[in-house]
Amino acid sequence: MVVPAPVEEKLSEQDDPALWEQVLKTVAEDASVLRAANQRSHLYAEVGSCSHSLRPHQTRWTAAGGFALPSGYDGTRHSRSGLPEFDWSVKLQFDPAQPGWIVPSEMPAKRFNFVRIAVPARTTRHRQAAVHTLWSPGTLDAKQNRTIFYGFRNLGGVWELKACSNMRL
């Protein structure tokens, strides 16, 4: 899988493109399972970089040896249920033919399925990354948003999925 050009153009020297490739591939694999179950609507993603999370060295997600909890803010206050704030983001559309992500010709105005993907910044300096995803109603749950964390580790220069806060789809 190739990182879409609009994402690649936004990455800094401190962002590891190999992690972004693995994150987008992993979420696309989960989206392909959803797509097979619900072929009526398209799935869109807002994917972005997050350099500020809630107390990253003190709040832990303990799966697979532990990761910094990928949560953020609820408005202006710290919150374990808050969304990580994007430094920048790009809108993509799931392409079930690959499966992967493409740049949409246009975004729908209302009522569409989406996943919000927050990838930590400065990943060339770290050996692990916890990714926060928020899946809209109609994807994982019929009526409410669902948050899924994905934990990746860089082992010998290769990013591997080591933990998922929910069973893989």
Amino acid 169: pLDDT: 46
Coil, strand or helix: which one is 91? strand
- Residue (of 99, 107, 113) closest to 43 by Cα position: 113
Q: What tens digit of pLDDT does each residue of 155-168 get?
A: 998 999 999 887 55
Looking at residue 141, what is its pLDDT?
Answer: 83
What the block records as the tokens of 103 is 């740049």
Distance of alpha carbon 73 from alpha carbon 54, whole angstroms: 7
Tokens found for residue 143:
């009526």
Largest CA distance in the chain: 44
Please give the average per-residue pLDDT across 26-44, as a whole number.
79
Mean predicted lDDT score pLDDT of the chain: 84
In this structure, what DSSP letter does residue 124 have?
A: T
Token couple for 75: 């408005």
| 6 prior amide bond cis, ω within 30 | no
* Stretch among 98-102, 141-145, 151-155 having the lowest mean pLDDT: 141-145
At 41 the pLDDT is 75
Residues 6 or more apart in contact with residue 102 via CB below 8 angstroms = 4, 92, 93, 95
* DSSP3 helix / strand / coil % (the chain, rounded to 5): 20, 35, 45
Is this prediction's pTM over 0.85? Answer: yes
Residues 28-37: what's their mean pLDDT? 78
- Model confidence at 140, in pLDDT bands (50, 70, 90)? confident
Q: Record the tokens describing residue 124, joined without a space.
A: 């060339």
Phi, psi at 105, each rounded to 5°: -70, -35
Q: Where do the structural domains in the chain lie, given as residue ranges?
A: 5-164
Which pLDDT score is estimated for 59? 65
pLDDT digits (tens, 9 = 90+) for 51-96: 865 545 556 666 677 777 666 655 454 555 668 889 999 999 999 9
